[in-house]
Amino acid sequence: MQSRRVQVLLAACWSSSCLASISNVPDFATSEAGNPFVDGWYADPDTQFYNGEYWVYPTSSRPYDDQTYLDAFSSPDLVHWTKHSNILTADNFPWAHRAVWAPAPIYRNGTYYLYFGANDIQSDSELGGIGVGVAEHPEGPYTDPLGRPLIDAYHNGAQPIDQDVFIDDDGQAYMYYGGHSHANIVKLNDDMISLGTFDDGTTFKEITPENYVEGPQMLKRNGVYYLFWSEGGWTGPDYAVSYGMSSSPLGPFDRIAKILQQDEAVATGSGHNAVIQVPDTDIYYILYHRHPLGSSDGNDRHLAYDRLYFNDDSTIEPVKMLVHDNFEDGNMIGWETYGGGDWDASANVLRGNGGLALVNTNFSDFIYEADVKVSEPKNNDCGCHGHAGIVFRVSEASAENATFKGYYAGISTSGALFLGRVNGAELTVLASEEAGVVTAEQYRLKVTADGSSIQVAIDDEQHTAIKVTDDVYGSGMDGVRIFKAEAEFDNVNITRITSS
């Protein structure tokens, strides 16, 4: 994919000047402004870099009969995203009437191309397969140059879905595609809307690697061709991404390893990936969809991305789903509020004046850090001290009154640091120390929970730290709480503690 990214970049602006349009290089460990990085149910993302912006083209994750359109998202920095609705609709493709899936974008010859699967055909007697749309702009509208599918039948057992398009350094374009546990590669002619032939006269070559199910994706980096694919069932928790390597775009692609799979503390069903490179760097991200914890609907899928790291031997490290949020995108996507209160992140920090805000996680042993600023409420009629802080191992949260079960590490407007165990409306203070904190100043609050051992510190113990042993709650959601105060939170970071 490196080759096609660079070719798109050159075709779009013909010089490195367009790199200057990126205000700063997105050198992140994950989506620092939080995953999911866009709102709504989407799946099967593919990506391109067009005219100084990152573009993501996903499937709309809905029942098949409702999948009659495609949306896209663009961003100058992988943080601030703009939604482009209905860039392709079935109205412009008379043969496509349902299951419009897995768009694959590419730019060539002054034209933007978008390949997609439609109708989920189960046999050659049905109308459907892989289509292609053309447009003058990345956001469409995409129209049908053929009036029919580009690939409309099974070949080598491969269902015509889940296409990825790649242009190699020599200018040859390829399409990798296939469902039903078979993968093919075809050549695309220079017009990008017709198929070429290989030297042996064939059009379809099977390249199915071990454990392949669907969702092929091609990346070229430093002369190595990487084929990614998805394994398992897309509705289940075992959906995952593996990869193989080759010195040729035609393979063979021997399976190296599984690099992305569910994390029962973060999300399940992580698969159908894309890879995007930050131009003129060796920074890569893997984009994918995943199911939120506790969801039983296979169509409940969000988009996420994390960093892709390469070893010295060109193999890929396993991907870690990280939980970060610096609110630089100005929203609370991924957070749910409980118990009223006003919450807002439009100023690039999370502000509130009461209640709970939680992320859907289920960590047991972890390090949880966040910047916290606590202030007296504007109307403190009771003259009492309020508090705010971070909550963890949370369950049974009440949307009505913000009661829950779990732990609460808080900072009081009196200047104290405390750790409490919460059981519904009852707060039992397990430990408290005079920390000398000042209201309306920001502090870094850190919780380290490892089994029954819980430690709370402010600014890496420059002020104070408390330690307790308590095993009432073993795992649960994470978030923040405010009681009779106003507070700001920023730079949330939750990291699993792994046994050595």
Q: Domain limits of the chain?
A: 2-321, 335-496
Question: What are 442's two structure tokens?
Answer: 């920001």
Q: What is the pTM of this model?
A: 0.93
Fold of 335-496: Jelly Rolls (2.60.120)
| Residue at 170: amino acid letter | D
State the pLDDT at residue 19: 40
Catalytically annotated residues: 44, 214
Does domain 2-321 bear CATH number 2.115.10.20? yes
pLDDT tens track of the chain, all 500 residues?
443 433 333 334 333 334 434 447 999 999 999 999 999 999 999 999 999 999 999 999 999 999 999 999 999 999 999 999 999 999 999 999 999 999 999 999 999 999 999 999 999 999 999 999 999 999 999 999 999 999 999 999 999 999 999 999 999 999 999 999 999 999 999 999 999 999 999 999 999 999 999 999 999 999 999 999 999 999 989 999 999 999 999 999 999 999 999 999 999 999 999 999 999 999 999 999 999 999 999 999 999 999 999 999 999 999 999 999 999 999 999 999 999 899 999 999 999 999 999 999 999 999 999 999 999 988 766 667 899 999 999 999 999 999 999 999 999 999 999 999 999 999 999 999 998 899 999 999 999 999 999 999 999 766 678 999 999 999 999 999 999 999 999 999 999 998 65
State the pLDDT at residue 20: 38
